[in-house]
Structure 1
Amino acid sequence: MPLAARASSDMLKTHRRVLLLQGPMGHFFNRLRQWLTQHGATVFKINFNGGDRWFHRGPNTVDYTGTLGDFDDWLIVYVATHRIDAVVCFGDCREYHRIGRRVAKEHGLPFYVFEEGYVRRPDYITLELDGANGYSSLACDAVALPHAGDEPRVRPAPRQPTGYRFRRMAWAAMTYYGAGLIWRHRFPHYRHHKEFSPFPEIVCWVRSALRKQWFRVREAALRRFVSRDIAGRYFLVPLQVFNDSQIRHHSPFEDVRDFIEDVIVSFARHAPRETHLVIKHHPMDRGHRDYRRWIASLTRTHGLSGRIHYLHDAHVPSLITKSRGVVTINSTTGLSALNHGCPVYVAGRAFFDLPGLTSQMPLAVFWRSPAPVDRQRVSQLKTYLLSMTQHNGSFYGDSPWMRAQDAHTSIINTVPGAGDYGHSRSSISASGEQVS
């Protein structure tokens, strides 16, 4: 599919009857509804669980209480009945959204996907037409990126702070899961993309906080060793969250452990003996998983004692700049590495895995001859992303991109988060029942 010639938000605001599927936890889709309405659209919203219902009870809102298997046919009727001309979701790998994407495609409807920002987090979010990450137009049409000498189609606007706060995200998550628990009887067939309960999340957050302090002390010497003693002689492997949908849907791996094993086996067989491997744990996975025993076992099995180093907390940009290269499944850390001029090997499917950017050779070759990065090509990619798909805003903060789209409106308060916590109280259920 061709790359967008206009910013995705410019295209989205041209539609008149927009359907919102599941959004990020919290009120972001309420702000989006307000913004679309300001631009003349009639906005419809489908709730799939109690968390959705708590945050979204405005006009033209419906609770879907049927099964996942019936959603396809139900959605086809809903789209036709309400004359929907565009569909929007957050995260296109969720099962309901995969169905939504298929229905939209079959009926010739534009399908827009919000995701976490590809660049400059937490001050940017992603909005792409047709799909994000592995479904991105870039991933589907690798040669379509503007070539050297091409002028950017739109100049990126200056970045503004968004006032992102972790506590705002935590509040939204606890409220969302709590409402899901309270209203679970109303959505008996709902299937979440991960465990749907506030209690495991609370346990993991507490465990993560404790582990962070523990590893800060325990790994101090290891951080110094990596930074001073093996700088320039190691490859960095940034891990992803264990339940990352990008692993399940856009890679050959069933689990992060499979990826770790493949990388260590390849490193043992093909990497120069003077090189080391630094495996960096994902900070959002700190409370869920710990791979120390698994890595230690693989290290012994393959005779790599002293050459494999496992870190939980460290400054990633510093790790990148002192490494020989980065090996990732499809994490956007790979994009950050390219921005630093660091060679990257992608083991899965990623929108930035393009000729001239990442290594297109087997991993066995990458260990010995990391492909150099074409800085001009990286600049072209970054300009394209910031112009077309990256929007200066936060799901849990302010959204300057909405104001920039229409300087004559004031639909979003300039105080970060202000106005985010109110919502309307009426809607209809799938059976036509009013919600109050």
Structure 2
Amino acid sequence: MLHGPSSLFFPRLAAALEARGAEAHRIHLCPGDALYWGRRPRGRSYRGDAAGWPAFLADMMAREGITDLALLGDNRPRHREAVALARATGVRVHHVELGLVRPDWLTIEPNGAGPALPLPETPEAMAALARAEPPEERRLFPPSFPEYAALDVVWNLSNLLVSWATHPHYERHATWHPTAEWAGFLWKLVRARRDRAHAAAVWEAWGAGDAPLFLLPLQLRTDFQIRVHGPDPDLRVTMAGVIRDFARNAPPEARLLVKEHPGDNGMTPWRRLLRAEAARHGVEPRVEVIDGGDLNAMLDRAAGVVTVNSTVGLSALRRGVPVKALGRAVFAREGMTDPQPLRGFWRAPMAPDAARVADLLGALGWATQVRGGFEGAGVTAGAAAMAERMLAPARLPGEASRAAWPRLSGKARTSC
């Protein structure tokens, strides 16, 4: 195992793997990794620089007989080289992430594939892979924001305070410095009541009308889904382009509702930036930016959803709402997202094929989704389900394949 969530999920996953007969190894790339691994066996730190990393990892994987590699985010420092080495040596890669379906689902993708997940291309093959019911959007595990926040702060603080001594070449993957993010979240907390009131007022005015309402759900600027798989690595550029296109091509009665990501750190003044962009193009009365509100109600009301590659797009598709994907997305497929240019989408959005959407969801549920969470009440269930999936045979075409590992054989050795 390499970097995982800034929580106790990877130690729980290691315990679940070991309970099923596997060995779990961990390479600590920062003090936070070592802190949360605790006294568990088979943990070691890498203190060298980027140049020495491939040789260190190759030696460790060969010496320990590593069969699987688990990590969160295949574009983080050290992860890119690890994934390349694993692919070259036949080690199976498991990219873990929050679920493509929310809430209470986790994603485990082979080979760190992301939007390039090796799903079938033809409708017939996709239907054949859809061996599970579409994952339900019902919450089973209560979230625990205080636990999430506390674990994240402790993980980052340990890195800030002692990495200079224990991991001198540690590289943060995040764009924002942790202290800047914490300040942003505190400011969001201060203005939360005002933001909720503003969102409620906008929805009261716009939700009940019959004018075409397009929803633009924002993603996190620092997300690799934006930085690697979006049309521009700067989300501000992409969003400004959407508003410009809306002003030029949308029907005059249409409205654009921009919803901030609930996990946004508040460092980007989205409302000011995007309202100013709307004013430059003469559509300020028809563009609103809110932080809060009921996403499901917005989807039920929307004439269409414009997104880079947010999982909101998948939620919209399963409701039959037309979706325009601007970036590479696992759901950007024929018969699902609208293939026409954005200028055409505003005037004649194309609805998805319900059968194809159901098959995609069934295939994702079968091959990549497990129930649970990275923190809170869902950790134990998520770790157990992910361990079962890691030790199971491959489920996707093109995935590094193997038969299931015999339980209690000790032959599956996962570097988590």
Which category describes the TM-score, using the shorter chain as reference length?
Answer: 0.7 to 0.9
Q: Is the 8 A contact 1:329 1:347 kept in 2?
A: yes
SS at match of 2:310: coil
Q: Which structure 2 residues correspond to residues 256-271 of structure 1 after superposition, within 5 A?
A: 256-271=235-250
Residues 286-331 of structure 1: per-residue CA shift (max 9 Å, x gap):
5222222322322222121321111111111111111110000111
CA separation of 1:405 and 1:243: change in aligned 2, threshold 3 A: closer
What corresponds to 2:63 in structure 1? 81
SS at match of 1:283: coil
Matched, 1:143 2:138: no
Moved over 6 A (4+): 156-160, 404-407
Match among 100, 121, 130 for residue 111 of structure 2 = 130
Structure 2: how far apart are the matches of 1:304 and 1:137? Answer: 41
Unaligned stretches of 5+ residues in structure 1:
1-19, 408-436
Q: Is the 8 A contact 1:334 1:344 kept in 2?
A: yes
Match among 193, 207, 215 for residue 213 of structure 1 = 193
Structure 2: how far apart are the matches of 1:220 and 1:401? Answer: 34
Q: Which structure 2 residues correspond to residues 11-26 of structure 1 after superposition, within 5 A?
A: 20-26=1-7
What corresponds to 1:251 in structure 2? 230
CA separation of 1:368 and 1:279: change in aligned 2, threshold 3 A: same
- 1:208 deviates by 1.5
Match among 23, 38, 52 for residue 70 of structure 1 = 52
What corresponds to 2:146 in structure 1? 167
- 1:252 deviates by 2.1
What corresponds to 2:214 in structure 1? 235
What is the identity, as a one-letter code, of the residue corresponding to 1:385? Answer: L
Residues 359-407 of structure 1: per-residue CA shift (max 9 Å, x gap):
1221122112211111111111111222221111111033335556999
SS at match of 1:243: coil
Report the RMSD for the aligned CA atoms in angstroms: 2.3
Match among 147, 156, 172 for residue 192 of structure 1 = 172
CA separation of 1:218 and 1:366: change in aligned 2, threshold 3 A: closer
What corresponds to 2:274 in structure 1? 295
Matched, 1:30 2:14: no
Structure 1: how far apart are the matches of 2:82 and 2:124? Answer: 27
SS at match of 2:183: helix
Match among 306, 317, 334 for residue 355 of structure 1 = 334
CA separation of 1:406 and 1:93: change in aligned 2, threshold 3 A: closer
- 1:221 deviates by 2.4
Structure 2: how far apart are the matches of 1:293 and 1:156? Answer: 39
Structure 1: how far apart are the matches of 2:89 and 2:203? Answer: 53
Structure 2: how far apart are the matches of 1:103 and 1:269? Answer: 48
Structure 1: how far apart are the matches of 2:265 and 2:301? Answer: 24
Match among 39, 42, 56 for residue 20 of structure 2 = 39
What is the identity, as a one-letter code, of the residue corresponding to 2:148? Answer: M
Q: Is the 8 A contact 2:256 2:287 kept in 1?
A: yes
CA separation of 1:316 and 1:157: change in aligned 2, threshold 3 A: closer
- 1:54 deviates by 0.5
Structure 2: how far apart are the matches of 1:216 and 1:405? Answer: 36
- 1:200 deviates by 2.8
Q: Is the 8 A contact 1:114 1:125 kept in 2?
A: yes
What is the identity, as a one-letter code, of the residue corresponding to 1:112? Answer: H
Matched, 1:332 2:311: yes
Structure 1: how far apart are the matches of 2:385 and 2:248? Answer: 53
What corresponds to 2:375 in structure 1? 396
What corresponds to 2:29 in structure 1? 48
Q: Is the 8 A contact 1:127 1:389 kept in 2?
A: yes
- 1:239 deviates by 0.6
Q: Is the 8 A contact 1:112 1:131 kept in 2?
A: yes
What is the identity, as a one-letter code, of the residue corresponding to 2:173? Answer: H
Aligned residues: 383
CA separation of 1:145 and 1:246: change in aligned 2, threshold 3 A: farther
Residues 322-347 of structure 1: per-residue CA shift (max 9 Å, x gap):
11100001110101111111000110
- 1:191 deviates by 0.6
Structure 2: how far apart are the matches of 1:130 and 1:145? Answer: 24
Structure 1: how far apart are the matches of 2:288 and 2:182? Answer: 29
CA separation of 1:93 and 1:211: change in aligned 2, threshold 3 A: farther
